[in-house]
Structures are given as structure tokens and as C-alpha cells.
Amino acid sequence: MKDINETLDDIARQKEMFGFAVNVTNERADERIPSVSSIDESEIFGRKDEKNELVDRLLCESSKEQKGPSIISLVGMGGIGKTTLAQFAYNNGDVKKHFEKRIWVCVSDPFDEFRIARAIIEALTDSAPNVGEFQSLMQYVEKHVAGKKFLLILDDVWNEDYSKWEPFYYCLKSGFHGSKILITTRKETVARIMGSTHVISINVLSEIECWSVFELLAFSGKSIGKRENLEKIGREIVKKCKGLPLAAKTIASLLLSKNTEKEWQNILESEIWELEAIEKGLLAPLLLSYKELPSKVKRCFSYCAVLPKDYKIWKHKLIELWMAQGYLSEKGAKEMEDIGEEYFNILANRSFFQDFDRGDDGEISTCKMHDIVHDFAQYLCSNECLTVEIHSGEEGASVPISNIWDNVKRLRGLRSFLVKSDEYSWSSEVLPQLFDKLTCLRVLKLEGSERWSSVNDIKEIPTNIEKLLHLKYLNLYSQREIEKLPETLCELYNLERLNVDDCENLRELPRGIGKLRKLMYLDNEGTESLRYLPVGIGELIRLRRVSKFVVGGGYDRACSLGSLKKLNLLRQCSIHGLGDVSDAGEARRAELEKKKNLVELELHFD
């Protein structure tokens, strides 16, 4: 017993050092995105009665006594298919013809009046208004819906404060008679508070309908013979999905790669099904899929709990955060980024991510997490993750950074500190305190404003940043007031990624940058004032990317083309200042022909 207690005490001490992840956000338009309104109708199963009722409600004319748009609410638990049904209605041909304007807004929690107003205006006018006052935004909405028959869909509403909704409803009254508002929510109280004239309750799918969702994915690519052997077990599994589309889809994604009866039987007989999970059993199938993940992928998924709900997740940025936490490691010839891609695709294929946007190359660029999947991630790491959300309350107002500091300064084991700085007013005292106390940080994200200027931008980085010895990821994106970085930054010998993109006034990097021997990524695109790179850049043999390699410039200790000689792991590089290179031998000394990993090279002779 004594040994056990000593072991537990040791675990408790390590727990303090394990680290917490904090995301601080002011949830505005740039932090959230509208739900994807398009949908493949061939993948919608069942819901015939609900679809017919919803379309009929949208197309029927409102009574003459109705003042303002009629409000219809779809109510049901998370993952039941409310958004899918709303997407179906939004894209219905008759609905398209019936309304002059259709507007889709993902609301979520919190109910951000400014963001919602801007989203409505942007849908009506194809441009975002350049006004800051809420009253002006409301006048814009009223002006642009006046005399128009519109359909406004507000997806995922949680707000139970009528005073926040009231200004919207009053200005929407100027729309043409017969306009409609469709709301999706988990809470019937929300539907009542928002003045719904009709409430449509969305219940679970029938077993037959749930089977259709399941078989479309689970049996994809399987032969008829295999399907016949697995169908009986599959139908038993579907019974345990309890009619939840998300549950059926999640388990089907898991079984897509399993081809034997034994594997399917193991899933069916898993004790995890008996867990009393949140959201009436929805987490049980999610937990089952989670259990099947490789252990390294589990850590990557759990880390997503620090992101806000409905957050637009950029795949490459998420992979960067995983790398900084040490969740990815090189495997033979595979780079960490490639491993991160593999882990991301595993999660995407198991339906842990959704709402994918793809680039021109067909690869996923952004995604989101379903609310319930996000709840599940937080449920998994409820004792290891702290998320703090602080809202300014009104447009244009900033939150004193001291408000955040009071929440996190005692968390000495903190490993991730993510702040979008344009929402917070920085005092010169807080950053030095942060660097003194949070010495376990692996990730420090202090992004600046996306606007051209902001009084809240950080003016300088304190010299005691050298205390963050474990830091692997430093993001100062768009901090336009910073002119130089302290030489003490070069003491961060674990730093793997430095992002100074769009730091327009940054004139120089520390001369001792060559000491950052583990640096792999230098993101310095948009640094218009950067005159040169220090000669020490040529010693960073682990570099994979330099967004802007500035040569020459006539400055002492400036790098030259020859500084590229040792950087044989480079994959991406954009070389600037070639017009000032007079010695052709410099190009030969760069030995670009030895850069076997180079996949992207830009040459600028400006």
C-alpha cells in the first residue's frame, strides 16, 4: 500500500508538469465560419415527413395578421441531423424559386450580434460592411431586406437571451410579407424565446433509415460475398446506434477498413457500448472509434479540445501545433509534416472532422468538428485541458490582457498559450511576467490584427523570452509594430518554427540566429521592411522552409547565396534580392542541385 501511495504521489507531481492547453478567444466573425449550406441529397436517408413538413412550412403564405417573418424551428439533440435537414431545405428547388434572397448563418455559442449582422449583410450584398457600430449594422440589415422576400437560416442557436435577438427581429420586419426564418437548436426553450410560430421536433432515424446511412459507408468497396457475411453483424451494430446519424456514420467509418467477421464481432461486443455517455449515448460510439485509433493519433485528436467550437481548422496549422507538442516524430524518410498529414487523414476518414474545403489540388485545406465530437474531445481530456474564453462585449472594444493573465498565471505547467492579439490590449508589463512564469510553454501564439493597423499590436518582444527554453513554436503573425527581435530569442535552442509573416515593420532578425540549430521553418512572408537575413542562417541545417530568403543588400553580416550551401533539407524557398548579386559564382556556391528535397523554389530579381 505504501508503494502504491508513493507511486500515486509521483503521478500527481508529474500531472502538475504535464501541462494544460489554453485557448483565449473573443469569438468574432474572423474566428467562426458559416456552415456549408450545400449538400448531396443522395446521402440523405429518411426524414420524408420532416422534409415535406419543413418545405411546406417554408412555402406556405403567412397569414395577413402575421407581422414580420414567420419563425420555424428544428429542435433535436446534437448529431441528430438538424443541420442536414436545414441544408436540404435551403437547396430545395421550390424554395429557391420562392425566395428572392436566401441567407445562411452558423450562429453557435456565444451569440455574437456583430458577427451575425455582418454575415447577413454579406449574404445580401456580397460584401462586408465597413462600419463598427451595432446600430449602423442593424440599419444596413433593415435597408437591404426591405421589400424582399427572404429566407434566413440560423444554424445551431444556443442563445436564451431575448434581448440579443430582439434587434434582429425588429429590423427583419422590413422584409416582404411571407419571409421566413429557420432556426436549428438543441433547446426547445431557445425556439420559444425566439418566437417560433412552428416547432418541428427532429427524432432519431428508424432502424431502416439508420441502416441506409451505415451501409453506404461501411460496405463501400467490399465484395458482395464479404457484404453477405458481415451484414447480419452490421445490422446488430446499427441497432446500438440508436437511430443517431452521426453515430452510424462514425461506426461505419471505423468498419470501412475492417473486413473480417471477427473484427466486426469485436466491435459489436465491445463493453464501451454499455458506458453511460453524454448526449444520450452518442459518445459511446465515438469512444469506440476513439479506442480504435493508434495511440499517437489519439493525442492529436484530444489536442483539438483547445480549439473553439465551430472553429475553422486549417489543416496545416493544426499539424504545426501537433508538431510543437511533440506528437509527431520523423519516421525514416518521412517528414513530421507528412506524418501529421497521415494522422489528420485517419481522423477525417473516421468522421472526427467534417465540412471539408479543398484546394485546387483536391487536398483538404480546412475543416470543422461537429459540436458533439468537440464535446467528446473535451470529455476525454477534462482533467488536462483548461479553455478560457473572454469576450469584450462590444465591437471595437479590447479586453485588457491582464484579464487573461489573471486566469493563467498560476498554471506554470501550461504548454499552449494561444491568443489572437487584436482582441486584447497589451500592457508592457504582462509579456515579461508571462515569460517569467510560463516556462513550460511549447506553443506561444500571439497573432496580431488582420486589419491594417491596430492600437493593440505588440510593440516589442521582451528580452526575457529566453526563459521559454522548451518553446518549439513561436507565432508573431501580423504584429506590425515589431521592428526587431531580441538577441535573447536565440537562446531558445528547442525552437522549431518561427512565424513572423506580415510583420511589415520588422527590419532585421537576430544576428545570433545561427544558434537556433533545431529551427525547421522560418515563415517570414510579407516582411516588406526586412533588409537581409543574418549570415548565421546558413548554419541552420535542419531548415525545411524559408518563405523569404533575402540575400546581399550591402549589410554587414548579411547572408549570401552561398549561405544556402548546407541547407540540403530545404523543401520550400523563395529567394529575394537576386538583382543585387553580381558574382555568378555565388549561384554555384549555393549548390542548389544538391537540394534533393526541394519542391518549391521562387527566384526574385527585385
429-452 pLDDT tens trace: 778 888 988 899 999 998 876 655
Q: Is the pLDDT of residue 37 over 80?
A: no
Least confident of 58-67, 355-364, 509-518: 58-67
Give the pLDDT of residue 245. Answer: 85
Look at residue 3 and tell me whether its pLDDT is greater than 90: no
> Which carries the bigger pLDDT value, residue 109 or residue 222?
222
Given a cut of 60, whether residue 32 has pLDDT beyond it is no
Pair (260, 285) in one structural domain: yes
Q: Are strands 198-201 and 313-314 parallel, antiparallel or unpaired?
A: unpaired
Euclidean distance between CA atoms 147 and 156, whole angstroms: 27
Same domain for 156 and 64: yes
CA dihedral 296, 301, 304, 306 (to 10 degrees): -70
Nine-digit cell string for 464: 526575457
Three-class secondary structure of residue 211 per DSSP:
helix
Domains of the chain: total = 2
List the CATH number of the domain containing 109: 3.40.50.300
Judged against a pLDDT cut of 70, whether residue 107 lies above it is answered with yes
pLDDT at 280: 45
Task: Give dist(CA 453, CA 459) in Å, integer.
Answer: 12
Would you call 108 helix, strand, or coil by DSSP?
A: strand
pLDDT value of residue 389: 55
- 176 and 55 in a single domain? The answer is yes
Instruction: For residues 51 and 193, state if they share a domain.
Output: yes
Give the HSE-up count for residue 564: Cα atoms under 13 Å, Cβ half-sphere: 29
Is the pLDDT confidence value at 406 over 80?
A: no
Choice among 133-147, 381-395, 573-587 with the minimum mean pLDDT: 381-395
Of the chain, the end-to-end C-alpha distance in Å amounts to 73
Mean pLDDT over each residue of the chain, to the nearest integer = 82
- Per the rule left: phi > 0, alpha: psi between -120 and 50, beta: everything else, 364 is beta
Show which of 201, 220, 244 is a domain's final residue.
201
The answer to the question of residue 141 being in a domain is yes
pLDDT at 356 over 80: yes
Question: Mean per-residue pLDDT for 285-307?
Answer: 85
Residues 58 and 155 in one domain: yes
| 52/165 same-domain check | yes
Q: Is the pLDDT of residue 273 over 60?
A: no
Q: Are residues 168 and 244 in the same domain?
A: no
- Residues 214 and 152 both lie in one domain: no
Contact by Cβ (8 Å): 174, 142: yes
In the predicted structure, residue 502 carries a pLDDT above the cut 60: yes
* pLDDT over 50 at 277, yes or no: no
Q: With bands split at pLDDT 50, 70 and 90, how would you rate the model's confidence at 301?
A: very high
Q: Which pLDDT belongs to residue 276?
A: 46
Tell me how far apart the alpha carbons of residues 439 and 424 are, in angstroms, rounded to a whole number: 22
Reply yes or no on whether the pLDDT at 399 is more than 50: no
Reported as a single tens digit per residue, the pLDDT across 518-567 is 999 999 999 999 888 998 999 999 999 999 998 876 667 788 888 899 99
Residue 271 lies in a domain: yes
Residue 130: inside a domain = yes
What's the rounded mean pLDDT across residues 59-72?
Answer: 84
Asked if 378 contacts 404 with a C-beta cutoff of 8 angstroms, the reply is: no
Chain centre distance of CA 595? 33
Hey, which residues does 102 pair with through a beta bridge?
A: 151
Could you tell me the three cell numbers for 524? 517570414
Residue 145 in this model has a pLDDT that exceeds 50: yes
- What integer pLDDT is reported at residue 40 of this predicted model? 66
Q: Are residues 173 and 214 in the same domain?
A: no
The three cell numbers locating residue 423: 482582441
Residue whose C-alpha cell is 444596413: 140
Range of the domain at 231: 207-291
Between 153 and 585, whose confidence is greater? 153
Question: Average of pLDDT values for 61-72?
Answer: 82
Helix (H) or strand (E) holding 153: strand 150-157
Judge contact between 425 and 398, C-beta under 8 A.
Answer: yes
Whether 215 and 277 share a structural domain? yes
Query: Is the pLDDT score of 508 beyond 50?
Result: yes
Q: What are residue 585's phi and psi, to 5 degrees?
A: -65, -20
- Same domain membership, residue 223 and residue 157: no
Q: Are residues 95 and 120 in the same domain?
A: yes
User: What pTM was estimated for this model as a whole?
Assistant: 0.63
Last residue within a domain, chosen from 155, 178, 201: 201
